[in-house]
Structure 1
Amino acid sequence: MASPAVPDEGQVQLELEPITAQPSHVVLTNQPQVPIGCPPGLEYLTQIDQLLVKQKVELLEVFSDIETKNKYEIKNSMGQQVYYAKEDSSFCTRLCCGKRRGFRIIVLDNNKKEVIRVKRKFKCCGGIACCANLGCAAHEVKVQAPPGTTIGYARQQCTCWKPHYSVRNADHETVFDVKGPCCIWSGACYRCDTDFKVYSPDGDTVVGKVSRQHAGFIKEHFSDATNMSVTFPMDLDVKMKATMLGLAFLIDFMYFEDQHQDSD
């Protein structure tokens, strides 16, 4: 089966909506000066240890089974908008491949400049687990900042039990191990908070987490919009903070993208 085509770098049309009318409760954050070695647009990440990722509810999805491009607001712990993100994928890919689809997530700052790009290739494996003995290909996202410069990877690890991921730098060296809960398989986690704990490479010390928060019955029953948070050490390299944001997008697609359909 041929992999659905993802547009080439020179052909992609982002069709990003201008960020003009912000809700009255949103306070845009001021951007600090760029530290040495920090990719442009990631300087604000030096000041925070958590990001909140809120997927916007799409009315077309609520009233139909048509999968639309995901859109996200990315905020700090005080509710101030830091970034805006939008999925770039074809209608055919979303219709035929569902949550296994290839995509690009374009992340913009409050000046509408693209600062992070998260890319995933289509994987034909039908299961969530990556079992070497079943021949399933691992799911992975590549994180770039600025676009075109790879700074890290978030990759699914082979397991047939608990979800397991690794966060890697640009040289594919493991920086963190990430382990999810057992209940993710049963569907019960769709209606409760779910934590993917982030461990140091030795596997003993918890240094952060990627959490999915229960968004309420109405929102979750009629759409697949989710609320997630990403927590990391304050002094962590901003490149790895951005890579953990990419991990949150991957987890969202793999476990929660089709939840309102799976739970019917």
Structure 2
Amino acid sequence: KTVPYVVNSMGAEAIPGSSMAAIFQHDAISVQQTMRGCFQEFCGCEAKSEYRVFGGHIEQGQARHEGIPQIGHLLEESSCLMRFCCGSMRAFNMPLTAGAPGQNGSHGETVVNYKKGCSFPLFFNIPIIIPVADISTSLTCPCCCMLPAVETVAPDGRGLGRSQYLCDIFCLVPKYDVYDKSGNLQYKVSPDTCCCGCCMMCRCGGPGARALYVPFNIRDPKTLETKASRMGPQNPAQIMKVWSGLKKECCSDADNFQVIFPADADLDTRANLLGTNVLIDFTWFETNK
């Protein structure tokens, strides 16, 4: 059973009862990507990404949110040409609005905007041709410039933080740096690793565990220890893809995510970590589909 965990508003700049507090007062949120634009994807054009945000913790293996109201909505703003030509490297603006869209398509109050500029792919291929042996192949190399990043911006234009993909020597392990509104490194987000940090550690044990659904732990930038949450030691601070249901997994590219916030995160920081979730989806899950 999904149980919403609710705490008091924490952001000093947030007004109690405001849309920011209503969405990010929860210790955890569930982010559900919709199956929007199936016809566009069939025609070879990326559809606009759309997410529903629910308050509370979703268990592994649970795909629905019966009885839990939608507290937020994300809908990408980008051109069809940008989506067709650039794919997951495209630029976009993605406003987070309060509540669910109305039946006439109207949206609630804009809480924050997530902005991403055009970026290079995470990897590129260098063709290798050996005429003597009649061998033609390619070498895959990581790209270390114009890496993807998502800015979290308040409706009045104030920057609330930034999430940046990180390229290092262990290029097969996705890593992200999360910066606060002052530009200081606040968290590092990465999965657990094995083989001296060369590859991700599969999650093969425990109830509901799936080897491909590896949690991205939210870590202290100095110690690299996973931050604790308010939900106890069994639920550390992390961003994790969860099972979406058989129909959704087999018939679409849509994903479900769970974000468990660090215990010390205020409202602005929590809003910024939702942007990190969007960046992880675009750079890792959208790229690898």
TM score, norm. by length of structure 2: 0.68
Equivalent of 1:41 in 19, 37, 41: 19
Q: What is the Cα deviation at residue 201 of structure 1?
A: 2.1
Q: Counterpart of 1:146 in 2: which secondary structure? A: coil
2:73/2:97 contact within 8 Å kept: yes
Alignment partner, residue 232 of structure 2: none
Classify 1:150/1:35 alpha carbon distance in 2 versus 1 (closer, same or farther; 3 Å).
Answer: closer
Q: Distance in 2 between matches of 1:49 and 1:124?
A: 34
Alignment partner, residue 146 of structure 1: 155
Q: Distance in 2 between matches of 1:239 and 1:144?
A: 10
| Unmatched tracts of structure 2, length 5 or more | 1-5, 58-67, 100-106, 125-140, 193-198, 202-209, 228-236
Classify 1:215/1:33 alpha carbon distance in 2 versus 1 (closer, same or farther; 3 Å).
Answer: closer
2:41/2:47 contact within 8 Å kept: no
| Unmatched tracts of structure 1, length 5 or more | 1-29, 185-189
1:144/1:152 contact within 8 Å kept: yes
2:152/2:159 contact within 8 Å kept: yes
Q: What is the Cα deviation at residue 222 of structure 1?
A: 2.8
- Give the % identical residues: 25
1:193/1:211 contact within 8 Å kept: yes
Q: Counterpart of 2:73 in 1: which secondary structure? A: strand
Alignment partner, residue 87 of structure 2: 98
Q: Distance in 2 between matches of 1:37 and 1:155?
A: 24
Q: Distance in 1 between matches of 2:265 and 2:158?
A: 19
TM score, norm. by length of structure 1: 0.74
Alignment partner, residue 17 of structure 1: none
User: CA-atom RMSD, angstroms?
Assistant: 3.1
Equivalent of 2:274 in 245, 249, 261: 245
Equivalences for residues 7-18 of structure 1 within 5 A: none
Q: Is structure 2 residue 74 aligned with structure 1 residue 85?
A: yes
Q: Distance in 2 between matches of 1:210 and 1:156?
A: 15
Equivalences for residues 4-153 of structure 1 within 5 A: 36-38=12-14, 40-45=18-23, 47-58=25-36, 59-61=38-40, 63-77=42-56, 79-110=68-99, 112-127=108-123, 135-153=144-162
Deviations 1:61-82 (A, max 9, x none): 5644332111111001163311
- More helix as a share of residues: 1
Q: Counterpart of 2:76 in 1: which secondary structure? A: strand
1:125/1:136 contact within 8 Å kept: no
Alignment partner, residue 64 of structure 2: none
1:46/1:234 contact within 8 Å kept: no
Q: Is structure 2 residue 188 aligned with structure 1 residue 177?
A: yes
1:192/1:213 contact within 8 Å kept: no
Equivalent of 1:199 in 219, 225, 242: 219
Which structure has the larger Rg over C-alpha atoms? 2
Q: Distance in 2 between matches of 1:151 and 1:215?
A: 30
How many equivalent pairs are there? Answer: 224
Q: Counterpart of 1:96 in 2: which secondary structure? A: helix
Classify 1:203/1:60 alpha carbon distance in 2 versus 1 (closer, same or farther; 3 Å).
Answer: farther
Q: Is structure 2 residue 174 aligned with structure 1 residue 167?
A: no
Q: What is the Cα deviation at residue 135 of structure 1?
A: 4.2
Output the amino acid matched with 1:167.
Answer: V
Q: Counterpart of 1:253 in 2: which secondary structure? A: helix
Deviations 1:217-256 (A, max 9, x none): 5423332111011111344111110000000000001112
Deviations 1:29-79 (A, max 9, x none): x9x989641275211256311111001112325644332111111001163
Output the amino acid matched with 1:146.
Answer: P
1:140/1:155 contact within 8 Å kept: yes
Q: Counterpart of 2:48 in 1: which secondary structure? A: coil
Q: What is the Cα deviation at residue 166 of structure 1?
A: 1.1
Q: Distance in 2 between matches of 1:191 and 1:216?
A: 16
1:62/1:223 contact within 8 Å kept: no
Alignment partner, residue 63 of structure 2: none
Q: Counterpart of 2:123 in 1: which secondary structure? A: coil
Q: Counterpart of 1:194 in 2: which secondary structure? A: coil
Alignment partner, residue 155 of structure 1: 164
